[in-house]
Amino acid sequence: MINGSEFPFKEGETILQVAERNGVDIPTLCHIRGLTPTGACRICVVEAEGARNLLPSCASPAVRNMVVETESERVIQSRKMNIELLLASGPHSCLTCEANGDCRLQELAYRYQVETIRFPESPIRYPTETSNALIIRDFSRCILCGRCVQACNEVQVNRAISFGYRGAASKIVAVGDLPYEESDCVFCGECVQVCPVGALIERPSRFQGRPWEIQKIQTTCPYCGVGCQIDLHIRDNRIVRVTGVEDVPPNFGSLCVKGRFGCDFVNQPERLTAPLMKENGHFRKASWSEALSLVAQRLGEIKSKYGADSIGVFSSAKITNEENYVAQKFARAVIGTNNVDHCARL
């Protein structure tokens, strides 16, 4: 029973899983759905009848005849205390933080009306890492929730980062406590996407727009035929950031380095925006109708003079499977040749 309502459950399910499946909101901070529960943040604690201590719902199995309260006075006071401790772990100044408006800790502090912090702010032990061009690591804002470590180790399976040192000196480290660019990191950015605060920031998108200034547009990543779903973060008709779309196949939020950081070419002024035709040794802009008519004419002339097998069609892994199908259909049904190749064959 949760909050007075009875719910069925399967053996092995946690309290949090049963609650989520039945629309009962239990706030979480360190938890990533589908991964091994850690119970690190203690935000998801609940009160179970007969239990001496509050239970982390993400790591506590549901049992028969269990009676659970998710928003009792004891639970709320515990969550507020933990939020205060997290806010005291470093200089969480929302005004200057890139994650302002998209910060889970900020959201929880507002939800539970944490107005004052009774604990002294922890000193800054480690300098911000700004040495690489893609990811900024601000250790002073890190709350050691471990989401980045789990995403790296269990989702991407890169195993590039882990917890390092002990006690108050704990930090998230790459192997050998090296800077990212000297480590095994492949810069997929999965750690950035799951970070609930402003400890990990995409450098190219820094100062490019607050969350409330951004419009999200879902589309398909252009870099291969897998079809990963991405959200383009648009401000003033410019792409300022790319994130994976959560809970949507085939990637379920995960991206490679090209998918996450490789769309900056769209904003480049040198990018071609119209077909070019060469006349008298110089290129001039042309309409698509004019350019396609010329291509069709030249292909027809070559086919008539040398035969269909003198023409080959080379496709690309950077287009969708459907577009590759159309390319081979054009080669075989329109031109009449089986000379079709693809860069991913090699």
User: pLDDT tens digits, residue range 286-326?
Assistant: 999 999 999 999 999 999 999 999 999 999 877 778 888 99
Mind listing the pLDDT tens digit for each residue in 118-166? 999 999 999 999 999 999 999 999 999 999 999 999 999 999 999 999 9
Is residue 345 very low, low, confident or very high in pLDDT (cuts 50, 70, 90)? confident
Calpha distance 272→225 (Å, rounded): 23
Q: Read off the amino acid at residue 126.
A: Y
What is residue 307's predicted lDDT score, i.e. its pLDDT? 96
Report whether pLDDT(184) > 80.
Answer: yes
Confidence of residue 223 (pLDDT cuts 50, 70, 90): confident
Q: Which residues pair with 172 in a beta bridge?
A: 163
pLDDT, tens only, 247-292: 999 999 999 999 999 988 888 888 888 999 999 999 999 999 999 9
- Cβ contact 277:284 at 8 Å: yes
* pLDDT of 317: 76
> Which residue in 189, 90, 82 sits closest to 135, CA to CA?
189
Cα–Cα distance, 255 to 171 (Å, whole number): 25
**Pick from 60-64, 83-87, 267-271: least confident:** 267-271
> Identity (one letter) of the amino acid at 260?
R
Q: Above pLDDT 90, what percent of the chain?
A: 86
Nearest CA among 56, 64, 61, 66 for reference residue 26: 56
Average pLDDT of every residue of the chain: 94
Determine the Cα angle at 179 with ends 175 and 182, to 5°.
75
Q: Taking residues 26-45, what's their average pLDDT?
A: 94
Q: Is 75 helix (H, G, I), strand (E, B) or coil?
A: helix
Is 35's pLDDT higher than 80? yes
Block residue for tokens 């944490």: 114
**pLDDT number for residue 202:** 95
- Partner residues linked to 164 by β-bridges: 171
Tell me how far apart the alpha carbons of residues 62 and 68 are, in angstroms, rounded to a whole number. Answer: 10
Task: Give the pLDDT band of residue 346 (cuts 50, 70, 90).
Answer: low
